[in-house]
Amino acid sequence: MSERVRQGLAMIAILAATLAGGAMWFQRGGMAPAAEGAMPGLAASLGGPFSLVDQEGRRVTQASYAGRFLLIYFGYRYCPDVCPTELGKMAAALDLLPATTQARIQPLFITVDPERDDPAGLKDYTALFHPALIGLTGTPDETRAAARAWRVFYAKQTVGRDADAYLMDHSSFIYLAGPDGRALRFFPPETTPEALAAALHRAVAGS
């Protein structure tokens, strides 16, 4: 299945998950905000508590970042293309913001490949993108729980006969959660750094 099809399916999954809250949202005439990814129904259907290990090896939960907005991306360190693009976009968007706004936002990179992404490896990797970016890993079960909460799809794809040489198929959205840990919105791959920065600025200014 192509990356594009995967993205489409992931989007459909998110939209389907949002339909429950969506009836109310449509009654409020929510089509305009939906066009830019702000979906009130999302807050009720996405996100949730997580328990993972950060790149320093410390156990963390959403409470570890209480009071800050969370800018979350799920991916993996060996991703050949999509993850570097999206993490680069997050970094560029953060750097477009004033320092005081930036300080209110914690960017997180949650691996969907915990077998290979240990804390030390994640620390090396996140440093390539932004000093504020923190990598999170965990057991396969903890990873699955976090990904499920955000409706993130991922699956191992073996390449050739070497069991260690594999890719991870994964959906690719950037998520924003409020200081209370609840999902505010998501950003599809076509979002520009400028649009992401503007949305982050509005979210922080409105809090």
Minimum CB distance to Ni ion smaller for 36 or for 115 = 115
Q: Are 69 and 105 in contact, with CB atoms under 8 Å apart? A: yes
Q: Does 135 bind Ni ion (CB under 5 A)?
A: no
Minimum CB distance to Ni ion smaller for 113 or for 142 = 113
Q: What is each CA distance from 29 to 23, 39, 42, 80, 85, in whole angstroms?
A: 10, 11, 15, 40, 33
Minimum CB distance to Ni ion smaller for 50 or for 109 = 109
Query: 37-52 in b/e burial notation, b at 16+ Cβ within 10 A?
Result: bbbbbbbbbbbeebbb
Residue bearing tokens 């990598």: 135
Q: Are 124 and 141 in contact, with CB atoms under 8 Å apart? A: no
Query: What's the closest the beta carbon of residue 153 comes to Ni ion, in angstroms?
Result: 12
Query: What's the closest the beta carbon of residue 14 comes to Ni ion, in angstroms?
Result: 17
Query: What's the closest the beta carbon of residue 136 comes to Ni ion, in angstroms?
Result: 15
Number of residues in contact with Ni ion, rule: CB under 5 A? 4
Query: What's the closest the beta carbon of residue 104 comes to Ni ion, in angstroms?
Result: 27
Amino acid at 26: F
Give one word for 158, left, alpha or beta, with left for phi > 0 and alpha for psi -120 to 50.
beta
Minimum CB distance to Ni ion smaller for 75 or for 107 = 75
* 102-131 residues near Ni ion, rule: CB under 5 A: none
* 59-98 residues near Ni ion, rule: CB under 5 A: 75, 79, 82-83
* Site of interaction with Ni ion (CB under 5 A): 75, 79, 82-83
